[in-house]
Chains A and B, each alone.
Chain A
Amino acid sequence: MMWFDVILGIGLIVAALGVFRSDALFRSVVFFVTFGILLALTWLRLQAPDLALAEAAIGAGLTGVLLLDTLGVLNKPATVKFSLPKHLLAAVVAVSAAMGLAWSFWTLLQLPAPVYNLVETLAANIDDSGVSHGITAVLLNFRSYDTLLEVAVLLVAIVIGLGLRQELRQELRQGVRYDKVQSNGENDEQSASLSSKQANAAEHEAPALLKSLVHVLVPLLLITAIFVLWAGSTRPGGAFQAGALIAAAGVLARLGNIDIASRVNLLLRTGLTIGVFIFLLVAVSPMLTGYAFLAYPPGWAGVLIILIELMLTISIGLILLSLFIHAPREKRNGGSS
């Protein structure tokens, strides 16, 4: 297996170089996706299947789709031109980052061996956590504060994304779009029916073969997402991976021109926030009876973790999907209407 690891390592470096050394942006994106898949394999070889799942689904899959989609919207010929000041700046940043890394690595080597053995501490306490899979126990019990902040960051990202969308749309407004639904409340029904009409018209454009594949794959993806979520309490899996699968199902449906997300605006917004909302609710409510912030009442940990993970899955899935769906795509919309 050692040669496999060596080849994998070399492949990672080559793919990373390919991302930066390619002249055409499209080629960079393809290298980026390749890099993500190789990285997922690397995590597998390092026996971190949770990370491998997340990297394959989010790092390679969804980010790749987002980048490709962005390329499709860019009208300019997508090539990188050489400019000396930019490259000089990048070189300075890269060299100082490398020196910082080397310095911190060096100081790490100088430190005495850690007194705490985190793996043993985790193994000793896992029975109190409510789940039997170590990663989930850390993410949602021992270090749930970090997870809460992570999801909050995702929520902020999508709020900013939606805000940007509106601004861009207003600049490029050519006719009635479904963003009217939120800009003026009175026209809700009218423009909602209009947008669904547009969506219906668009659905006829998708190639029949793609549509039938989407019809098969979307339910399969949703079932897999539920399985991955459920598996999270006993083996690798969990909210982030399951959320990524839900987002992938949504992206596929969108590519097949089945436009679910823009028809249910209010529901979508509820879904975006429900993960953080329920997480905060569960975090705060024990304080009423004298427990600490984020402390699960004894005996309830398992149930509450599943509840939080379920809500997080919905939110993460919708957030990742919304980043894709609500990205400004004047090119495609302009063509269809």
Chain B
Amino acid sequence: MFYLQIVFISIGCLFFIIGTVGLLRFPDVLTRIHALTKADNLGLGFIVVGLIPSQTSAADIAKLVICWLLILAASSVSAYLVANQHIRQTRKPE
């Protein structure tokens, strides 16, 4: 189980690194959001799954999962808002 946890958390970290590379390398706002939200949320999910076996109580597991779900909701909505604002701002000059 321990090694499985290591594998899951490593995959999670890898996704975070990929997301960060995307943030640094992609050319504009929309592609950067794409890299950040998709890769990071998946990475966070892997880390949460990797951490679940070390929890002793069901309440702690529930807290971890709730954290992930809340971050999923918040980051998807904020990504939408940033993208929306970006599109509005770039459209104006036309």
Chain A residues within 8 Å of B, Cβ to Cβ: 207, 209-210, 213, 216-217, 220
Q: How many A-B residue pairs have CB under 8 A?
A: 17
Of B70, B74, B84, which is within 8 A of A207 by CB?
A: B84
Instruction: Enumerate 8 A-B pairs (CB-CB under 8 Å) in ascending A order.
Output: A207-B81, A209-B80, A209-B81, A210-B80, A210-B81, A213-B73, A217-B73, A220-B70
How many residues of chain B get a CB closer than 8 Å to chain A's CBs? 7
Contacts of A216 in B (CB 8 A): 73
CA distance A220 to B81 in the complex (A): 21
CA distance A217 to B77 in the complex (A): 12
Residue of A nearest to B85 (CB): A207
Are B73 and A207 neighbours in the complex by a CB distance under 8 Å? no
Contacts of B70 in A (CB 8 A): 217, 220
Q: Chain B interface mostly helix, strand, loop or mixed? A: helix
User: What is the distance, in angstroms, from A288's C-beta to the closest C-beta of chain B?
Assistant: 46
Are B84 and A213 neighbours in the complex by a CB distance under 8 Å? no
Contacts of B73 in A (CB 8 A): 213, 216-217
CA distance A207 to B77 in the complex (A): 10
Residue of A nearest to B80 (CB): A209
Chain B residues within 8 Å of A, Cβ to Cβ: 70, 73-74, 77, 80-81, 84
Contacts of B81 in A (CB 8 A): 207, 209-210
Contacts of A207 in B (CB 8 A): 80-81, 84
CA distance A8 to B74 in the complex (A): 26
Contacts of A209 in B (CB 8 A): 77, 80-81
Contacts of B77 in A (CB 8 A): 209-210, 213
CA distance A210 to B79 in the complex (A): 11
User: What is the distance, in angstroms, from A72's C-beta to the closest C-beta of chain B?
Assistant: 11
Residue of A nearest to B66 (CB): A220
The 7 lowest CB-CB distance pairs between A and B, nearest first, are A213-B77, A209-B77, A209-B80, A210-B77, A213-B73, A210-B81, A207-B84
Contacts of A210 in B (CB 8 A): 77, 80-81
Residue of B nearest to A255 (CB): B81
User: What is the distance, in angstroms, from A213's C-beta to the closest C-beta of chain B?
Assistant: 4
CA distance A305 to B29 in the complex (A): 50
User: What is the distance, in angstroms, from A195's C-beta to the closest C-beta of chain B?
Assistant: 26
CA distance A207 to B81 in the complex (A): 8
Residue of A nearest to B84 (CB): A207
Known: A209-B81, A217-B70, A220-B70; 14 extra A-B contacts, CB below 8 A, are A207-B80, A207-B81, A207-B84, A209-B77, A209-B80, A210-B77, A210-B80, A210-B81, A213-B73, A213-B74, A213-B77, A216-B73, A217-B73, A217-B74
CA distance A209 to B73 in the complex (A): 10
User: What is the distance, in angstroms, from B83's C-beta to the closest C-beta of chain A?
Assistant: 11
User: What is the distance, in angstroms, from A109's C-beta to the closest C-beta of chain B?
Assistant: 42
Residue of B nearest to A216 (CB): B73
CA distance A209 to B84 in the complex (A): 11
CA distance A210 to B70 in the complex (A): 14
User: What is the distance, in angstroms, from A257's C-beta to the closest C-beta of chain B?
Assistant: 13
CA distance A21 to B73 in the complex (A): 34
Residue of B nearest to A211 (CB): B77
Contacts of A220 in B (CB 8 A): 70
User: What is the distance, in angstroms, from A40's C-beta to the closest C-beta of chain B?
Assistant: 16
User: What is the distance, in angstroms, from A246's C-beta to the closest C-beta of chain B?
Assistant: 18
User: What is the distance, in angstroms, from B90's C-beta to the closest C-beta of chain A?
Assistant: 17
User: What is the distance, in angstroms, from A249's C-beta to the closest C-beta of chain B?
Assistant: 14
User: What is the distance, in angstroms, from A330's C-beta to the closest C-beta of chain B?
Assistant: 20
CA distance A29 to B70 in the complex (A): 24
CA distance A210 to B77 in the complex (A): 6
Contacts of B80 in A (CB 8 A): 207, 209-210
